[in-house]
Structure 1
Amino acid sequence: MSEWIQALSPFAGVGLAFALGLLIGVERGWSHRMEPDGSRVAGIRTFALLGLAGGVAGEATARVSPLIGAAILIAAAAALLIGYARAAAKDDLSATTTVVGIITLGLGALAAAGQWTLACVLAALTTLILAQRKRLHEWVEGLSEIELQAIVRFALISLAILPLLPNREFGPMNAWNPREIWMVVVLVSGLSLIGYAASRKLGAERGVLATAAVGAVVSSTAVTAAMAARIRKSDGDTAVLTAGIALASTVMVTRVLVLVALLAPFALAPLALVVVPAGLVGAAYVAWALRHPAASVEGPAPIVRNPFDLGPALMLAALVMVISLAGRWAMQAFGHAGLATVLGISGMVDVDAAIIAMSRLPAGTLSPKLAGLILAAPILANTLVKAGLAYAIARGSAGMRAAAPLVATAVVGLAGVVVLAVAF
């Protein structure tokens, strides 16, 4: 049996190469189905054979000679290019089919070399991109110059600047990590772009709330900064944007409870007594905003002049630097006796860090009640910081309205702390 498997093993990679070429060929054949015979550079049969040629080249490279494998790939690619050149001389053709043909050769070679997963994933992505041709063209045609510039700038800060920053601590008390700090900038800017795109696709109301709910799973602070920036640069009513801030806070509370249940379950019940009523305040504000006439879809939609605003992102990054340094100082000044202070300070920006620190304490170090009170501190501190951030970014009366649901949430949470501390 093992001899049969060994004998058939070369056919597996080549067979996969043929199948991947056939998959891409089906899409190419369907896309050009209305064209007359003889006008296409390559169709379903050609792509299947190109995949097979790539597989044969890969096997020849491994089992005979790399020169023979290279010769097969070069010959197949040359045939594609010659066919494209002759067809282009008669008509204005897209180079897509020729480029995809060369990619198919490479996928066949990968399959024959045993890189099956990579070959399959790349073939699926290639087919998906080809199948979305009409939608991609419509999307590009609908872009404004401002939106294009926003995409380019986001690519610059995320793909060019971020990888170049050192991933190590430096500065006073080694409190700052350049890459982690810049990730805050990337996150806030990305959420701003996502929110802008969602508003265009879903409408102002549904787009804002969808962005807030999804983004808050990652960082409710980043969502608050992005929404506040949109409030500052918006014309018309901004109640839905404020509802997005409130919704992000509610999602943060839910995420925290799930994380505590997984990492520090002994603190879940007392913590829930504090944060669940506070989270319901945000949910109530969202429900009120959606029922309020000024926040209806028929009302004037907020107009965002700039979908990419780096200012709030840089402000949040600076806040992270300040809080990180303050947290290191508190750790050295108070030690383990100041656990609540340290967790409260670190939780102003990152509540998850406080929860993880709690989960690493030895069993029995804290009673459930004290653990719940200690974890409530960073959550409420984080809520107040977000309220201050919303006010600082949105500014003026708009900033006060943006911060109002967060302040109300913190007040209810503080009342819960008092009840937990006195009555239980």
Structure 2
Amino acid sequence: MVVPTADPVVEVLVSLLLALGLGGLIGLEREQSESGGSFAGSRTFPLFALYGALVQAFFPSALPLAVGVIVVPLTVAYVGKVWYERDIGLTTLVAALLTVLLGAMTTHSDRGAVVAIVVAGAVTVLLSVKDPVHEFADRIDAHERRASAKFVLVVLVVFPALPDRPVDALYGLNPRLVWLMVVFVTGLGFVAYLLGRVLGTERGIAVTGVVGGFVSSTATTVSMAEKTVQNATLYHVCGFAVVTASIVMFPRALIEVTVVNPALLPSVAPPLGAMTAVGVVAAGVLYWRTAAEETVEPEELKNPFRLRPALLFGAVFAVVLLVSESANEWFGSSGVYATAFLSGLADVDAMTITLSRLAADGTVSSEVATTGIVIAAIANTLVKVALAWLIGTRELGKLVTVVLGVVVVSGVVILGV
């Protein structure tokens, strides 16, 4: 790791101190963990890191051999740990080997030192959350595990096999791009799903709305509307969950734009940001008016890592992409806006990604793409209002209409400025 000095000795010493610090960080966690046992702790792990750092600094070509040498005593210690403590866990052993490599990275290069710091921090966090991770794993039933495994398997097998070029038989679609967007959108939902599972069934109504908005705002709206039919007095708290799930759609769209076409973000951020801000304020007022004793348990969210919904989204995205391109060629911007509205009634993600992609390719202008994305978001928001009226009570319908109506107007105003 380079420091502001020309003295190579000082540079090496600083790198060695960094290695000691990273090893100490991991060692302290292992010392406090029951899993560490007598295997290794706050003194041994810094020595592992220092060992790797010294070998890389002065005998870099011997690093593979040095790692092999250290494996021998680690194996002996592990066997002894299993024999005396009846603990066959490999976590501490793997952490020790990783610490040797992290130490070597600190003296390898500037980039290696930075990566070592990041990885050491991540390792420490991962080691320290043993109980929450195991509790989370216990909450996932066999059906969910099989669904996730199938999805991940299809991603790993299908994605590399798909051609990364336009295919004439698919009307010029790029199959790998379509599947990549499927994985991306599903991944966003899965991250939120994991958050909901980690927080458990006792999560607050605010978190329920946020998690539901990322996983499925429509499902959350339907669930909350049904709750008001069962108990009409819950319309305030259910309305809050519906509004929260609906406004989460706007930052979700901003994330998608950022990933697909960052150059479009300055154009899209003002209207969607305004809708988000107004929605947050309105939701805050609604939450303030909600009685503290009002609670509601939402329906269990489904794992987004399921193959059938993923394939359905891929088909929707492909159709929306083709229809948007054709509508732009035939009818210009008005055709794009009509497609955005119709597509937004069912799904905002597909239209957001489509227009971001078309803007990146130069097929449509940034202004048209931005307007289309906002139109899709407004259309989907109107669907939430309609569901509140059709499935929920009259009070819920009025409440959601007023709050989301203000959100929609704010977006239209900013878009027209």
Please tell me whether residue 172 in structure 1 is matched to residue 175 in structure 2: no
Q: Is the 8 A contact 2:29 2:124 kept in 1?
A: yes
Q: Show structure 1 runs of 5+ residues with no match.
A: 216-221
The structural deviation recorded for 1:397 is 3.8
1:206 aligned residue: 206
Partner amino acid, structure 1, of 2:179: R
Q: Deviation of residue 399 (structure 1)?
A: 12
In 1: Cα distance, 2:156 partner to 2:288 partner: 37
Q: Residue 59 of structure 2: SS of its match in structure 1?
A: helix
| CA distance, structure 2, for counterparts of residue 4 and residue 329 of structure 1 | 62
The equivalent of 2:298 in structure 1 is 302
Equivalent residues of 2:193, 2:304 under 8 A apart: yes
Match of 2:7, SS?
helix
Question: Which residue does the alignment assign to 1:120?
Answer: 117
Is it true that 1:330 corresponds to 2:324 in the alignment?
Answer: no
| Paired residues of 2:340 and 2:372 also in contact (CA < 8 A) | no
TM-score (norm 1): 0.66
Maintained 8 Å contact 2:35/2:92: no
Structure 1 residues 353-394: Cα deviation after superposition (integer angstroms, max 9, x where no partner): 769989999xxx99xxxx79x9666534443256559989x9
Once the two structures are superposed, what CA deviation does each residue of 1:159-216 show, in whole Å capped at 9, x if it has no partner?
Answer: 6655655554442254874234423651475267247427725536233223256x3x
- Amino acid in structure 1 at the alignment position of 2:171: P
Cα 1:108–1:331 shift into 2, 3 Å? same
**Deviation by residue 1:123-158 (Cα, 9 ceiling, x = unmatched):** 222222222233333333444434544554564466
- When normalised by structure 2's length, the TM-score is 0.67
Counterpart position of 2:32: 30
The answer to which of 380-389 and 109-118 deviates more is: 380-389
CA distance in 1, matches of 2:411, 2:33: 62
Are the aligned partners of 2:278 and 2:407 in contact in 1 as well (CA < 8 Å)? no
Give the 3 Å change call, closer, same or farther, for CA 324–399 of structure 1 in structure 2: farther
CA contact (8 A) 1:188 1:313 kept: no
Instruction: Find the residue that maps to 2:22 and give its secondary structure.
Output: helix
Question: What residue number does 1:247 align with?
Answer: 244
The structure that has the greater radius of gyration is: 1
| SS, match of residue 303 in structure 1 | coil
> CA, structure 1 residues 355+345, in 2 after alignment: closer, same or farther (shift >3 Å)?
same
Aligned to 1:193: 193
Please list, as runs of the form range in 1=range in 2, the aligned pairs for 1:212-361 lying within 5 A after superposition.
212=212, 215=214, 223-225=216-218, 227=220, 243-251=240-248, 263-264=266-267, 297-299=294-296, 301-304=297-300, 306-308=302-304, 310=306, 312-334=309-331, 338-346=332-340, 348=344, 349=348, 350-351=351-352
CA distance in structure 1 between the aligned counterparts of 2:276 and 2:42, rounded to whole angstroms: 60
Contact in 1 for aligned 2:49/2:99 (Cα 8 Å): yes
Select the residue among 93, 97, 104 that pairs with 1:102. 97
Q: How many residues align?
A: 386
The answer to whether the Cα contact below 8 Å between 1:263 and 1:359 also exists between their aligned partners in 2 is: no
SS in 1 for 2:43: helix
Tell me, in whole angstroms, the C-alpha distance in 2 between the residues paired with 1:111 and 1:278.
43
1:380–1:414 CA contact under 8 A, matched in 2: no
Give the conservation status (yes or no) of the 8 Å contact 1:246–1:286.
Answer: no
Give the gaps of 5 or more residues in structure 2.
258-262
* Code of the aligned partner of 2:25: L
1:384 aligns to 2:385 (yes or no)? no
Q: CA deviation at 1:112?
A: 2.5
Against the structure 1 CA distance between its residues 329 and 242, is the aligned structure 2 distance closer, same or farther, given a 3 Å change threshold? farther
Distance 1:400 1:78, change over 3 A: farther
Q: Which moved more, 1:159-168 or 1:136-145?
A: 159-168
**Alpha-carbon distance in structure 2 between the residues aligned to 1:403 and 1:315:** 30
For residues 138-177 of structure 1, the aligned pairs below 5 Å read 138-149=135-146, 151-153=148-150, 155-156=152-153, 165-170=162-167, 171-174=170-173, 177=177
1:107 Cα deviation from its structure 2 partner:
1.5
Partners of 1:13 and 1:278 in 2: CA distance: 45
